[in-house]
Amino acid sequence: MTFIDQVMTDRITAEARQIHFWRTVLTVVAGLLFGLGWISYKAVAGLWLVVAWCAAAVKVGWQEARTAART
């Protein structure tokens, strides 16, 4: 191993020792929970749009049926 390889290995080792395992694990868990919340919001918002649109369609259909029955 040359001197440059040893210097690089020492730098990499020093960098690796600065990484805290539990902080990394907690960051990954927080990221997963954030992603789960984001996806849940998007799913519920989409579902709400579908339900609201269907309710509006039923209401309009109901009103049209009542109007047609009067004439």
Mean pLDDT of the region 52-68 = 95
Q: What's residue 5's pLDDT?
A: 81
What are 29-44's pLDDT values in tens digits? 999 999 999 999 999 9
Q: What's residue 58's pLDDT?
A: 97
Does residue 1 carry a pLDDT above 80? no
Query: What sign does the dihedral 7-13-17-22 (CA atoms) show?
Result: positive
Between CA 64 and CA 30 the distance in angstroms is: 51
Look up the pTM and report it: 0.59
Q: What's residue 7's pLDDT?
A: 81
CA 11 remoteness from chain centre: 36
Higher per-residue pLDDT: 19 or 41: 41
